[in-house]
């Protein structure tokens, strides 16, 4: 069965991580709560949360399939505390860990059968170009974990930002490229990099993408907040050349308008005027980064039609 969103429109819209109105919830826990429990009890609780999150992902994909949403971004904490140095675990440590993995594998089968793309966007603490070795080591561990889950669910994108500038952006980008060599093929085959609204523009990242083969997730909102010498049309065209599969871009609108005090803050919905005209005829995944979640995706889809 094909997703109805993709039969009449080349653009696949993506929902990010959670829902506004649907009763689908993903669960998490804290390091403090887990560390205060006896290890066996803590693993039992973590197993329960992982199972519930796998079932919530199944429900999320079912919602996307029935509402014509072509992509779902999976929460980075889908396996809570997975890589924490004290509270972390392997799936084999969890009670019925194999059965939990099987639930995620079923999500991957469902997503493929219904033509729903899945992806990941690790948290801001994942910084491949940090000058601190411990930060890079933790970042790599997080990327490996999320790419393992991505393998289960057939996700083809694990997207990160360029990282910090650290007073020398060219050197920081070289560090990023060097640390790519420490990643497994499971990560490298999925890894993408996104321009941000504070440090790295498309012009900064495109040479890195062309040199390493890492695709650029082009964020039009970030580009408007942190412009470079490229127009949106030129940045779009350049970003497309970095992809060896269906490109994935981001769209959002400023909460208080482009003249507001903080244009980088996301609105509940997408202003159709912010959707680049040059994207409209592309075969493209566009993740909708908006506070109203599924309602924003459905409203944008209607506006585009």
User: Within a domain: residue 260?
Assistant: no
Average pLDDT for 35-49? 97
Average pLDDT for 132-160? 98
**What tokens appear for 278 in the block?**
């040059």
User: Within a domain: residue 287?
Assistant: no
Helical packing angle, 202-212 and 169-180, nearest 10°: 30
pLDDT of 8 higher than 60: no
Query: What pLDDT is stored for residue 7 in this prediction?
Result: 35
Confidence of residue 86 (pLDDT cuts 50, 70, 90): very high
Measure the CA–CA gap between 239 and 65, rounded to whole angstroms: 28
End-to-end CA distance of the chain: 22
pLDDT of 84 higher than 80: yes
Average pLDDT for 93-119? 98
User: Could you list the residue range(s) of the whole structural domain that residue 34 is in?
Assistant: 20-120
User: Within a domain: residue 160?
Assistant: no
User: Within a domain: residue 236?
Assistant: no
Q: Give the bridge partners for 250, in sequence order.
A: 219, 287
Nearest to 255 by CA among 263, 247, 246: 263
Mean pLDDT of the chain: 95
Q: How many of the other CB atoms lie within 10 Å of CB of 218?
A: 31
Q: How far is CA 100 from the centre of its chain?
A: 22
**What tokens appear for 158 in the block?**
């694990």
User: Within a domain: residue 29?
Assistant: yes
**What tokens appear for 235 in the block?**
């940045």
User: Within a domain: residue 60?
Assistant: yes
User: Within a domain: residue 257?
Assistant: no
Query: What pLDDT is stored for residue 6 in this prediction?
Result: 42
User: Within a domain: residue 2?
Assistant: no
Structural domains in the chain (count):
1
pLDDT tens digits along 157-197: 999 999 999 999 999 999 999 999 999 999 999 999 999 99
Query: What pLDDT is stored for residue 24 in this prediction?
Result: 97
pLDDT of 3 higher than 80: no
Query: What pLDDT is stored for residue 9 in this prediction?
Result: 63
């Amino acid at each position: 069965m094909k997703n109805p969103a993709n039969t009449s429109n080349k653009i696949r819209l993506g929902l990010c991580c959670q829902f506004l109105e649907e009763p689908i919830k993903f669960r998490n826990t804290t390091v403090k709560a887990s560390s205060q429990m006896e290890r066996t009890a803590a693993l039992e609780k973590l197993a329960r949360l992982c199972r519930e999150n796998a079932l919530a992902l199944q429900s999320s994909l079912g919602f996307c399939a029935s509402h014509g949403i072509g992509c779902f971004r999976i929460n980075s904490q889908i396996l809570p505390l997975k890589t924490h140095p004290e509270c972390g675990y392997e799936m084999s440590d969890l009670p019925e860990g194999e059965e939990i993995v099987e639930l995620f594998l079923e999500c991957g089968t469902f997503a493929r059968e219904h033509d729903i793309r899945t992806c990941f966007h690790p948290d801001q603490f994942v910084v491949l170009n940090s000058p601190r070795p411990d930060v890079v080591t933790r970042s790599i561990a997080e990327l490996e974990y999320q790419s393992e889950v991505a393998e289960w669910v057939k996700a083809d994108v694990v997207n990160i930002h360029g990282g910090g500038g650290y007073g020398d952006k060219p050197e920081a980008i070289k560090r990023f490229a060097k640390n790519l060599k420490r990643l497994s093929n499971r990560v490298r085959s999925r890894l993408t990099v996104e321009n941000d609204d504070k440090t790295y523009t498309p012009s900064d990242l495109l040479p890195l993408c062309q040199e390493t083969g890492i695709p650029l997730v082009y964020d039009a909102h970030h580009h408007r907040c942190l412009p470079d010498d490229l127009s949106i049309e030129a940045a779009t065209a350049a970003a497309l050349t970095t992809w060896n599969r269906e490109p994935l871009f981001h769209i959002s609108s400023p909460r208080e308008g482009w003249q507001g005090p903080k244009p980088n803050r996301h609105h509940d919905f997408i202003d159709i005027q912010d959707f680049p005209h040059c994207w409209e005829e592309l075969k493209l995944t566009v993740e909708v980064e908006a506070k109203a979640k599924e309602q924003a995706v459905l409203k944008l889809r209607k506006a585009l039609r």
